[in-house]
């Protein structure tokens, strides 16, 4: 099953004559959150029309297709999945169904840890499923709810869910935004003239020209309708602590976005500064592994006083179709993407900043490239703590035994990647740099403290898939 | 809604190491029954994998895709729908769902006249629908059935249906073939080494090299499993008369096929012979509108003694992408497909055979082309009676007021299409040529006697759509 | 080199506001003469713009591309070559070059037997060649001519050529049509309102709605300019006999065309009648291998009184992308295209008409299919004499040793293809059916009497290529 | 004509079993020099095979195509042209022709200013041209030369040329590299095991794993053959000064490359440092317009002590197919590519570094974006002098009257682009930063001093085209 391994970006807009086009722009800005497939569903006051396909936003939508998506309310979705080729078109979102309460469209970012359980129960009651995503479970729960109003049906459904869900639901001439009570994934609200806009990150608001109003709060459900914007808190009484994904700052969100009320750029730079204070080393130059290492590298440079340089040039023309050599003599997969700048590196003691180490093999290639380009010493600094635990809330990480840091010490890893020294940001330093414990972060991938209990079957399943 | 306007071809094979490839071949042979989309689902003993897309069989499947469809049992489907562009991928078959009784795949040819009613009821009970086809209703009925065994669930479901359904259902390591008790659409059974094969027409058996065993009988349900081939008659007691679609002989089936236990070629030729006896005319040459007019024209020629010639050459390279002239001075749409042969026509009294007249506009173009090519007289002969009533059982016909024969007399039509004379095959003559009344045919499109009562809402809906 | 193996279709129009569109239509009608690539060049009074690509006319041209081809004079070209994949885009026609006499575009159908010699001479003088076609030689000869006027340059060039050339040349605000003095390949002239039209066959005139005026005569050069249509005979004095390709009637031209002043349909039917007289056999039914066998089969049936039936149904959906079985147990390549009609064949003595036998392997598959479908006897009749000699004038035939008829007797071939009897049309019968010796035909592929001496190197080259 | 407006990248390799694949890699690394079309020609000891098409290297070549390009010597070419759609496939390089001296392939980077004159002369002598590029002229000159040896023919040809040409010529089992005597465009030589490699920039050597040997010198011609690497200086005696394009450092070459014997990164950073010394301003942050502004911005920051930040995030998913809004209310073209980081900019005095200002309209959009993102002051600094003169040697610049700096003062431009201050790098500062006058640079785009006299017709033509 694919449902454990998804990143996603969501976007929605209510009451705008160019709803589909703005959603297209919004998905464009959120493309980094999912490149596998894209979709837009539009409500025209009477029916929902939609278009979805595998591919980047720019290839899924054409001028003609956008013109056919007529309507005043729209939601969109970018999706990432780990095995595109064999994936089913039935999994592409937004999901659109018809039911006794009419047409419903839904865009979901996150991962529901009790989805299998709920799905089994629904199947037992006679429900059928087309795809394999968690998201389909949510739709069934809404439709099957015995509550009277549309909003109460949603409340009924979402209070059954455990895990991560930033949701946009379009039905009944309303646009509903929900963020799970833990607040795992981001979701922001903005306004554009008379329209209300929701997006995974503020960079999407910026591109469509919308003004940021505020975050959708963890546990909040916002119902936008013709006459009102109403907010309710369906999870009150539920005993749960705020658990916003701190990894969004490390790698996933775009540096020009604000999420969880904070600038990604500033937090990420603070990671670099803290890293420099915690793990100083005498060197000639600070460089980054582009792109997510750039901002912490600037922070590291500022704090340490060691000059920042562009040690790698990224090839912008690398597509999915790069042809690998048939002769297996040389490894070229990283080199086509990242080209070291000999003049910056030759004869230098180099600090290189990367956001994380997963299996260690890419890091080793990077260290080797730097040394081949003439670096005298290579000191790798990682702008997050060692990643030791898999994520079950919507970020694709390998299982524990594939995470190098869960089996090896920092010294052993340093040796494996052939770096002269290796150091990580401390967990405390990271939390402090992100605003402190009072902000409420999920750091499970670093410390294994999952805010929601993970069912055994989910853990087993994840192992089998990877 | 699109569900009233579908032709389809189905194919299935049980217990064959090349199941996907044979299904590909079978769909290839059945391409004339639907060119809009194609799909194959394969069961490998554990799970169902599938591939579906818009387009011809040859473009939907590649060598690589077929290789990924590993398994020993497969079903496939070709589909035709009237408005491809705006059609939803959710409507492409086989439908594959997961449910409490596991994975189920279904291929359906025909049209269920009480589908809207059943769908509404299912929705009221909380079911959700992805697409707009009748076929999705069948899957829901099977899954929701309270019967214990898989077979009983199918029986439960299909006995609720009114209308046309030749079905292939794959689940539970079984392949089930069903033909509705009226027997509207064809469905044949064959064998290929140790495998059992089902197909809409025998031409698919021929291409895969299977031996024809017999037709699936109207009202019969055949369950193929590891150990047995079992047949049951779930509709016994239902008061219904055999109503096999006689139009399959006129136009839809391929002349090299056997359906309803008869050779399409022979029946179609007999139509031509009867037409000649019923409507003789003094002339120099008999020609056909290719391709469905060819066989009756040969029959007409044989009976009348007037020589048969190729009056039209069909352009094999006409694709969907023919660019129409921007200057609207000349009508070219028929002419690019059919090119008259002046030498056959010039100065001649010409009998031209076509299978039917729908709106009359194409017939008029044909008569004009013949006269421009030098025909002295044009006598149009139609190898079926006047089409006066819409079909609700799976053939795409316009509504009554668009059918020229439902508003005009034969003389008026002759005048409209500018033919010197026009004559149709008689209904009695047609039935006799097809084996007589005892064979049990649906002739509703000619006489309005629908074997199943058509709900008012279906009639209304059909009007709106056309 | 590819230059020995080309069929082609040419079309041109002078002085028409829709020149590109009519040329598109003309190429559409001539698609059977070449399916590998297509191109159109248009003159707008100042410059020549063009578009060319691999593929069918319908895929090479879009609405947008046609709109960009603005101008009043146009020429087009369809090309067939035997090895598409490795073929060079530099060979696609029309060839368009710029030179001291301005821009020139040329479309060529046929094969120049002294092209290699001329090319070598031109290269020796410093000319460079992009592609490998004969046609490029003609352009060089025109441009290098020391004659003063454009027309004299063309005369200078074409009088150096030996072999087959039906040419359209566009330059200097003129459209020039040339047919070689032997008249190997067809070329006709028509008029459409104020425009002059040229085409390989009259079926192209018919589709654009032009009136046939007459054939361009062998050895004639027609210069169409603003003020006049001038005709000259540059080859007068050259001792050569008219040698029109009789194989155009057998297979290549479309039955609705007139070429060499005769109806292809009528000549082809006469082939069938003569064949019946020369080679009668007692049988129950006459069938054809579609499509080129259809018309002679009708002739054979008329003459013999044995009824004509459609013994094969052609699958219209066979594209280039048919996936062959990986298990090599059964031969399926012919069967996907041609489906025998069991009801026509079963228990019958069958006469099957084909246009020619090349290697014999396809014929054997056809005989086997007929027998598998139940034919009691199969009598193959070929509507042309045994093909024993390769063509060097523009038809793609294998070398002598690959032509089964050049090494085996009719009896031996009959045995090889497993037919009960086999008979060919006689050469005399064929010529008589095509109007008699006075019409002047090239029958070299049957009798080896080449109207132009074939240089040794051409023969050698042809051997190497096949 | 398109020949005045081309960038290009060239690559060649001699004597390698993976010649085509290495050339593919080399073109991949040089993709930034031309994105319109790509091609590779390979010599297999007997003949030249080639593949060329419009598009990026990654889309032009597939695994299958590379495998068909068998041979030990290869040259490749990336091309940029200003009007892709209407461009002719005849212009895609390498040009491959056959001639009296056999097959020749040529890849050319640069622009020949006397090409029109030479072309006219060649046409007068009877040569014909397929495309519109300068490069075709070179091939003709080589072939028409009366010199005896292949090398002397090349010498004969290239000594007739005036302007920019870095050439790779493959013929006669040799690979020849030429750089014009002015040395306008770069060309480097490397070695990979037993193979000799040539490339526009060293980044291509790095990717294929070749070792840089040295630059091909201005005026040098290197002939690589089986037995030897020979160098000759065909232009000796020609009175011309070394004129290497200094703009290659500013914008065009990749920062990880060495060209003209210097590190692009180092020179570009030195531009930034000099700019800081020449044009200091009190500010809070230095940012860059990515990507070419990044390195000088780092230099500016280092020199000024004002911290460098990432003020813009570049969207990596912007393709050619971005759909523009139909409502023209907001300008979005720059914003989809560059997203300002509010947190870096808000309330700050910002120095923004760009490489050049052409028309000024993009700069104005950038200033506006920065101010909208909260910048208090925007000080634009340009890492080159004002661009006042068009380039005729291979860089696509608009005509004089479209270059804002040729008509307006720096103050006027500052006002137009709405910057608080604007300053450029001085010409002297630039030359010094690039190593001093003794290195020999062409600075014509800044000072109008063209190293080669530009024919009047070229100037006129350039005006007409833009």
What pLDDT does residue A239 have? 83
Are residues A322 and A209 located together in one domain of the fold?
no
What pLDDT does residue A272 have? 98
Are residues D290 and D197 located together in one domain of the fold?
no
A-B C-beta contacts closer than 8 Å: 72
What pLDDT does residue B88 have? 75
Q: Please report where in the chains the tokens 């280039």 appear, as a residue.
A: C320
Closest chain D residue to C139 measured between Cα atoms?
D128
Q: Using the beta-carbon criterion (under 8 Å), do A126 and B49 form an inter-chain contact?
A: no
**Where is the binding site, in residues of B?**
245, 292, 354-355, 391, 442, 445
Beta bridge mates, B244: B441
The CA-atom distances, in angstroms, between C18 and each of A37, A208, C15, C172, D204 are 43, 44, 9, 20, 49
Residue A284 CA to residue D98 CA, distance in Å, equals 56
Give chain D's mean pLDDT.
91
The residues, ordered by sequence, that sit 6+ positions from C338 with a Cβ below 8 Å of its Cβ are C289, C290, C312, C313, C314, C315, C366, C369
| 8 A C-beta contact, residue D93 and residue D79 | yes
SS3 C77: strand
Are residues A234 and A267 located together in one domain of the fold?
no
- Domain limit, last residue, from A192, A208, A243: A243
Are residues C101 and C214 located together in one domain of the fold?
yes
Are residues C198 and C90 located together in one domain of the fold?
yes
B98 to chain A, closest Cα gap in Å: 5
| 8 A C-beta contact, residue B301 and residue B308 | yes
The alpha carbon of residue C212 and the mean position of all alpha carbons in its chain are separated, in whole angstroms, by 20
A58 to chain D, closest Cα gap in Å: 6
Contact of chains B and D by CB distance (3 or more pairs under 8 angstroms): no
- Among partner residues A32, A209, A310, which is closest to D330 by beta-carbon distance? A209
The CATH number linked to C118 is 3.60.20.10
Full-model pTM: 0.89
In chain C, residues with a C-beta closer than 8 Å to the C-beta of B315 are 28-29, 31
The CATH number linked to D391 is 3.40.50.2020
User: Would the annotation count C203 as a binding residue?
Assistant: no
Task: Evaluate whether residue C356 is within a structural domain.
Answer: yes
Q: Which residue has the higher pLDDT, C384 or A53?
A: C384
Task: Evaluate whether residue C455 is within a structural domain.
Answer: no
The candidate with the shortest Cα–Cα distance to D201, out of D249, D139, D237, is D249
Are residues B229 and B91 located together in one domain of the fold?
yes
Residue D207 scores a pLDDT above 50: yes
Whether the link from the prior residue into D94 is cis, omega within 30° of 0, is yes
DSSP-derived secondary structure for B372-409: HTT-SEEEEEESS----S---SS-----GGG-HHHHS-
Q: What letters, b where the CB count within 10 A reaches 16 and e where it falls short, cover C317-354?
A: bbeeebbeeeeeeeebebbbebbbbbbbbeebbbbbbb
- Helix (H) or strand (E) run with residue C137 in it: helix C134-144
What pLDDT does residue A35 have? 87
Q: Using the beta-carbon criterion (under 8 Å), do B256 and C313 form an inter-chain contact?
A: yes
| Tokens found for residue B102 | 């596991």
Q: Neighbouring chains of B at 3+ CB pairs within 8 Å?
A: A, C
A314-328, B87-101, B214-228, C87-101: least confidently modelled range: A314-328
| 8 A C-beta contact, residue B198 and residue B168 | yes
Task: Evaluate whether residue C16 is within a structural domain.
Answer: yes
What pLDDT does residue B238 have? 86
The CA-atom distances, in angstroms, between A232 and each of A170, A216, A221, A241, A351 are 17, 11, 5, 18, 49
- Among partner residues D86, D89, D99, which is closest to C129 by beta-carbon distance? D99
In chain D, residues with a C-beta closer than 8 Å to the C-beta of C140 are 126, 128
- Among partner residues D32, D62, D298, which is closest to A309 by beta-carbon distance? D298
Q: Total domain count for chain C?
A: 2
Q: Using the beta-carbon criterion (under 8 Å), do B310 and C294 form an inter-chain contact?
A: yes
Q: Please report where in the chains the tokens 């048969």 appear, as a residue.
A: B308
Write out pLDDT tens, residues B357-392. 999 999 999 999 999 999 999 999 999 999 999 999
Whether the link from the prior residue into A382 is cis, omega within 30° of 0, is no
Supply the range of the domain harboring residue B109. Answer: 8-240
**Where is the binding site for Mg(2+), in residues of D?**
292, 354-355
Are residues C277 and C172 located together in one domain of the fold?
no
Q: Using the beta-carbon criterion (under 8 Å), do C322 and B28 form an inter-chain contact?
A: yes
Task: Evaluate whether residue B251 is within a structural domain.
Answer: no
- Among partner residues C89, C100, C128, which is closest to D97 by beta-carbon distance? C128
Query: What are the φ/ψ torsions at residue A173 (nearest 5 degrees)?
Result: 60, 25
Q: What letters, b where the CB count within 10 A reaches 16 and e where it falls short, cover B374-383?
A: ebebbbbbbb
- Among partner residues D58, D302, D321, which is closest to A322 by beta-carbon distance? D58
Residue B251 gets which letter from DSSP? I
B-C C-beta contacts closer than 8 Å: 144
Are residues B107 and B234 located together in one domain of the fold?
yes
Q: Using the beta-carbon criterion (under 8 Å), do D130 and C130 form an inter-chain contact?
A: yes
> Rg of chain C's alpha carbons, rounded to an integer?
23
Q: Please report where in the chains the tokens 């640069």 appear, as a residue.
A: D110
- Among partner residues D265, D307, D316, which is closest to A344 by beta-carbon distance? D265
Q: Using the beta-carbon criterion (under 8 Å), do D143 and C129 form an inter-chain contact?
A: no
- Among partner residues C68, C128, C144, which is closest to D99 by beta-carbon distance? C128
Q: Please report where in the chains the tokens 């895709």 appear, as a residue.
A: B65
In chain C, residues with a C-beta closer than 8 Å to the C-beta of D98 are 123, 128-129, 132
Closest chain A residue to B141 measured between Cα atoms?
A126
Q: Which residues of chain C have pLDDT under 50?
A: 1-5, 82-86
Residue C435 CA to residue C433 CA, distance in Å, equals 6
A21-25, A74-78, B34-38, D69-73: least confidently modelled range: B34-38
Residue C14 gets which letter from DSSP? E
Contact of chains A and B by CB distance (3 or more pairs under 8 angstroms): yes
In chain D, residues with a C-beta closer than 8 Å to the C-beta of C130 are 90, 96-97, 130
What angle (nearest 5°) sits at the alpha carbon of residue D98, between those of residues D97 and D100? 135
The candidate with the shortest Cα–Cα distance to B155, out of B73, B220, B76, is B220
Q: Which long-range contacts does C455-460 make (Cβ < 8 Å, 24+ apart)?
A: C455/C113, C455/C114, C455/C116, C455/C117, C457/C116, C458/C4, C458/C113, C458/C116, C458/C392, C459/C392
Q: Using the beta-carbon criterion (under 8 Å), do B56 and C317 form an inter-chain contact?
A: yes
Residue B250 scores a pLDDT above 60: yes
SS3 A267: helix
SS3 A279: coil
The residues, ordered by sequence, that sit 6+ positions from A108 with a Cβ below 8 Å of its Cβ are A8, A10, A77, A93, A95, A133, A134, A135, A138, A165, A166, A167
Confidence of residue A94 (pLDDT cuts 50, 70, 90): very high
**Where is the binding site for Mg(2+), in residues of B?**
292, 354-355
Query: What are the φ/ψ torsions at residue D43 (nearest 5 degrees)?
Result: -110, 130
Q: Provide the CB-side half-sphere exposure for D113 (13 A, CA).
A: 22
Pairing of strands B421-424, B441-442: unpaired
Mutation to test the B interface, candidates C192, C310, C336, C368, most B Cβ within 10 Å: C310
In chain C, residues with a C-beta closer than 8 Å to the C-beta of D99 are 123, 126-129
Are residues C335 and C403 located together in one domain of the fold?
yes
A434 to chain B, closest Cα gap in Å: 43
The candidate with the shortest Cα–Cα distance to A86, out of B168, B47, C321, is B47
Edge to edge, the sheet with strand C37-43 lists C48-54, C37-43, C73-79, C8-14, C195-199, C188-192, C211-215
Burial class (CB in 10 A: 0-12, 13-18, 19+), A418: middle
User: Among this protein's residues, is D240 annotated catalytic?
Assistant: no
Q: Using the beta-carbon criterion (under 8 Å), do D298 and A310 form an inter-chain contact?
A: yes
Mutation to test the A interface, candidates B128, B153, B157, most A Cβ within 10 Å: B128
Task: Evaluate whether residue A455 is within a structural domain.
Answer: no
Task: Evaluate whether residue D238 is within a structural domain.
Answer: yes
- Helix (H) or strand (E) run with residue A433 in it: helix A427-433
Q: Using the beta-carbon criterion (under 8 Å), do A126 and B123 form an inter-chain contact?
A: no
Query: Per the residue annotation, which of A8, A203, A240, A439 is the catalytic one?
Result: A8
- Assign 3-class secondary structure to chain D: CCCCCCCEEEEEEECCCCHHHHHHHHHHHCHHHCCCEEEEEEECCCCEEEEEEECCHHHHCCHHHHHHCCCCEEEEEEECCCCHHHCCHHHCCCEEEEECCEEEEEEEECCECCHHHHHHHHHHCCCCECCCCHHHHHHHHHHHCCCCCHHHHHHHHHCCCCECCEEEEEECCEEEEEECCCCCCCCEEEEECCEEEEECCHHHHHHHCCEEEEECCCCCEEEECCCCEEEECCCCCCCCCCCEECHHHHHHCCCCCEECCEEHHHHHHHHHHHHHHHCCCCCCEEEECCCCCHHHHHHHHHHHCCCECCCEEECCCCCCCCCCCCCCCCCCCCCCCEEECHHHHCCCEEEEEECCCCCCHHHHHHHHHHHHCCCCEEEEEECCCCCCCCCCCCCCCCCHHHCHHHHCCHHHHHHHHCCCEEEECCHHHHHHHCCCHHHCEECHHHHCCCCCCCCHHHHHHHHHHC
Task: Evaluate whether residue B366 is within a structural domain.
Answer: yes
- Among partner residues B49, B99, B123, which is closest to A100 by beta-carbon distance? B123
User: Would the annotation count C240 as a binding residue?
Assistant: no
Instruction: Quote the strand ranges of A72-114, DSSP E.
Output: 73-79, 95-99, 102-109
Residue B36 CA to residue B7 CA, distance in Å, equals 10
ipTM topping 0.85: yes
Query: What are the φ/ψ torsions at residue D167 (nearest 5 degrees)?
Result: -120, 145
| 8 A C-beta contact, residue B265 and residue B295 | yes
User: Would the annotation count C391 as a binding residue?
Assistant: yes
Pairing of strands D8-14, D195-199: antiparallel
Residue B277 CA to residue B425 CA, distance in Å, equals 10
- Helix (H) or strand (E) run with residue A222 in it: strand A221-224
The alpha carbon of residue D291 and the mean position of all alpha carbons in its chain are separated, in whole angstroms, by 15
Give chain A's mean pLDDT.
91
Q: Using the beta-carbon criterion (under 8 Å), do A86 and B96 form an inter-chain contact?
A: no
Residue C197 CA to residue C224 CA, distance in Å, equals 10
Task: Evaluate whether residue D120 is within a structural domain.
Answer: yes
Confidence of residue D322 (pLDDT cuts 50, 70, 90): confident
Write out pLDDT tens, residues D223-255. 999 989 999 999 988 888 999 999 999 999 999
Are residues A229 and A283 located together in one domain of the fold?
no
Q: Which residue has the higher pLDDT, A458 or D174?
A: D174
Are residues D16 and D141 located together in one domain of the fold?
yes
What pLDDT does residue A465 have? 64
DSSP-derived secondary structure for C161-216: --B--EEEEEETTEEEEEE-TT--S--EEEEETTEEEEESSHHHHHHHTPEEEEEP
Are residues C174 and C276 located together in one domain of the fold?
no
What pLDDT does residue A49 have? 92
Residue B433 scores a pLDDT above 60: yes
In chain C, residues with a C-beta closer than 8 Å to the C-beta of B255 are 310, 313, 341
In chain D, residues with a C-beta closer than 8 Å to the C-beta of C96 are 90, 130
Closest chain B residue to A143 measured between Cα atoms?
B126
Whether the link from the prior residue into A291 is cis, omega within 30° of 0, is yes
The alpha carbon of residue B369 and the mean position of all alpha carbons in its chain are separated, in whole angstroms, by 29
Q: Neighbouring chains of A at 3+ CB pairs within 8 Å?
A: B, D
Q: Which residue has the higher pLDDT, A75 or B239?
A: A75
Contact of chains C and A by CB distance (3 or more pairs under 8 angstroms): no
Mutation to test the A interface, candidates D256, D258, D322, D335, most A Cβ within 10 Å: D256
- Domain limit, last residue, from C198, C213, C243: C243
What pLDDT does residue A226 have? 92
Please list the active-site residues of B: 8
C-D C-beta contacts closer than 8 Å: 72
Across the range A108-137, mean pLDDT stands at 92
């Amino acid at each position: 099953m694919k449902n454990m391994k998804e990143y996603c970006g969501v976007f929605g807009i209510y009451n705008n004559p160019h709803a589909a086009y703005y959603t297209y722009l919004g998905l464009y800005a959120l493309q980094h959150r999912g490149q596998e497939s894209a979709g837009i569903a539009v409500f025209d006051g009477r029916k929902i029309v939609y278009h979805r396909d595998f591919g980047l936003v720019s290839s899924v939508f054409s001028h003609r297709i956008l013109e056919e998506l007529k309507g005043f309310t729209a939601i969109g979705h970018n999706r990432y999945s780990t095995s595109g080729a064999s994936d089913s078109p039935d999994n592409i979102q937004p999901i659109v169904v018809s039911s006794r309460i009419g047409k419903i469209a839904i865009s979901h970012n996150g991962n529901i840890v009790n989805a299998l359980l709920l799905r089994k129960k629904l199947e037992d009651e006679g429900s059928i499923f087309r795809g394999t995503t968690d998201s389909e479970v949510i739709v069934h729960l809404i439709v099957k709810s015995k509550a009277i109003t549309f909003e109460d049906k949603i409340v009924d459904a979402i209070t059954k869910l455990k895990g991560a869900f930033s949701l946009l639901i379009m039905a009944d001439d309303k646009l509903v935004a929900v963020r799970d009570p833990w607040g795992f994934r981001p979701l922001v609200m903005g306004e554009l003239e008379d329209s209300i806009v929701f997006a995974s990150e503020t960079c999407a608001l910026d591109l469509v020209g919308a003004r940021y109003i505020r975050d959708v709060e963890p546990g909040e459900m916002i119902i936008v309708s013709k006459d009102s914007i109403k907010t309710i808190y369906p999870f009150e009484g539920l005993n749960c602590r705020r658990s916003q994904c701190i990894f969004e700052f490390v790698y996933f969100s775009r540096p020009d976005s604000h999420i969880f009320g904070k600038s990604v750029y500033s937090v990420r730079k603070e990671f670099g500064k803290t890293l420099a204070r915690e793990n100083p080393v005498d060197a000639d130059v600070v460089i980054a592994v582009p792109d997510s290492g750039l901002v912490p590298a600037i922070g590291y440079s500022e704090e340490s006083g060691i000059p920042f340089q562009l040690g790698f040039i990224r090839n912008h023309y690398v597509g999915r179709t790069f042809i690998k050599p048939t002769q297996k003599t040389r490894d070229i997969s990283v080199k086509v993407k990242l080209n070291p700048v000999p003049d910056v590196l030759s004869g230098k003691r180099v600090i290189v900043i990367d956001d994380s180490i997963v299996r260690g093999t890419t890091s080793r290639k990077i260290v080797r490239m730097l040394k081949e380009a003439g670096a005298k010493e290579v000191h790798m600094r990682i702008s997050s703590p060692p990643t030791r635990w898999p994520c079950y809330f919507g970020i694709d990480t390998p299982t524990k035994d594939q995470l190098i840091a869960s089996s090896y010490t920092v010294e052993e890893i340093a040796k494996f990647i052939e770096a002269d020294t290796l150091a990580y940001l401390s967990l405390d330093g990271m939390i402090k740099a992100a605003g402190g414990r009072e902000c409420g972060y999920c750091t499970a991938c670093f410390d294994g403290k999952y805010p929601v209990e993970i069912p055994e079957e989910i853990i087993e399943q994840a192992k089998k898939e990877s």
